[in-house]
Amino acid sequence: MASALVPVPDTSWAESSLEQSLTASTASAVLPPARSRIFKIIVIGDSNVGKTCLTYRFCGGRFPQRTEATIGVDFRERTEDIDGEKIKIQLWDTAGQERFRKSMVQHYYRNVHAVVFVYDMTNLTSFNNLPSWIEECRQHSLANGIPRILVGNKCDLQDDIEVPTDLAQKFADFHSMPLFEASAKNPNDSDHVEAIFMTLAHKLKSHKPMMVSQSLLDTNKVHLVHEQKSAMTCWC
């Protein structure tokens, strides 16, 4: 979906978390404060590989009828309750076209918890360009320390496949990334898209990512606390 969107953090959920924490604190001194966490996942790859459709499928629950080239970054999110904890999964859908990446600012690369590299299984060029996307991430200090996954999209177009699975798997192994082949379009594969992002969220949750809301008992404000993650190498 086209638009250069500047994400505005929605803190309403954090406020309700604060309320819960305050209620909990009066109800029982032994209960730990309610926590919520945000995971910022950046989705990157050539234009037209289906980044917008994948993020839309996960956050919007369907395949968009029509998409336009993304300008800068689009931002989608979904909140899930994972093991009793509120997890907000933010997907940052970046522009694949060079001219539209100019409006991406350094800020977008900050506090990223995971990177999803996407190629189009029916377009060998999009696969061959992956090293330049990996390099771009490296230049923005998104190196091997954070989880990275590789997604081959459009697996529904079986007759047009140009990137064989074994080739993609070798590339993924070389870069220590898990590989997923998926389709944002085919409803039968939508569970797979769901599973990819939920798996990533579970993996992030089991580590120590950014912790966002804490109950603050003596002020009415919710502070955003950014904890530095401990280095993660590979989670596959």
Ligand X SMILES: Nc1nc2c(ncn2[C@@H]2O[C@H](COP(=O)(O)OP(=O)(O)OP(=O)(O)O)[C@@H](O)[C@H]2O)c(=O)[nH]1
200 touches 147 (CB < 8 A): yes
Nearest to 202 by CA among 113, 111, 141, 117: 113
The interface region with ligand X, picked from 32-40, 41-49, 167-175, 206-214 by CB under 6 A, is 41-49
State yes or no: residue 3 binds ligand X (CB under 6 A): no
Q: Which two tokens stand for residue 182?
A: 């998926």
Sign of CA dihedral 174, 177, 178, 182: negative
CA angle 16, 22, 28 (to 5 degrees): 130
177 touches 117 (CB < 8 A): yes
Choosing from 47, 129, 144, 169, the residue that interacts with ligand X (CB under 6 A) is 47
State yes or no: residue 53 binds ligand X (CB under 6 A): yes
State yes or no: residue 206 binds ligand X (CB under 6 A): no
Bridge pairing between strands 148-153 and 114-120: parallel
- Find the shortest distance in angstroms from Cβ 192 to ligand X: 10
State yes or no: residue 152 binds ligand X (CB under 6 A): no
Residue 115 CA to residue 108 CA, distance in Å, equals 12
State yes or no: residue 214 binds ligand X (CB under 6 A): no
**3-state SS, residue 183:** coil
State yes or no: residue 161 binds ligand X (CB under 6 A): no
State yes or no: residue 95 binds ligand X (CB under 6 A): yes
Would you say 163 or 212 has its CB closer to ligand X? 163
- Find the shortest distance in angstroms from Cβ 140 to ligand X: 17
State yes or no: residue 50 binds ligand X (CB under 6 A): yes
What single DSSP character describes residue 159? G
Buried-exposed string 94-123: b where 16+ CB fall within 10 A, e elsewhere: bbbeeebbeebeeebbeebbbbbbbbbbbb
State yes or no: residue 72 binds ligand X (CB under 6 A): no
Would you say 97 or 111 has its CB closer to ligand X? 97
Cα dihedral: 154, 94, 47, 134 (round 10): -90
- Find the shortest distance in angstroms from Cβ 132 to ligand X: 14
State yes or no: residue 123 binds ligand X (CB under 6 A): no
Residue 141 CA to residue 162 CA, distance in Å, equals 31
Choosing from 183, 190, 213, 214, the residue that interacts with ligand X (CB under 6 A) is 183
State yes or no: residue 17 binds ligand X (CB under 6 A): no
State yes or no: residue 90 binds ligand X (CB under 6 A): no
State yes or no: residue 104 binds ligand X (CB under 6 A): no
Would you say 4 or 82 has its CB closer to ligand X? 4
Residues making contact with ligand X (CB under 6 A) = 47-53, 67, 69-70, 95-97, 153-154, 156-157, 183-185
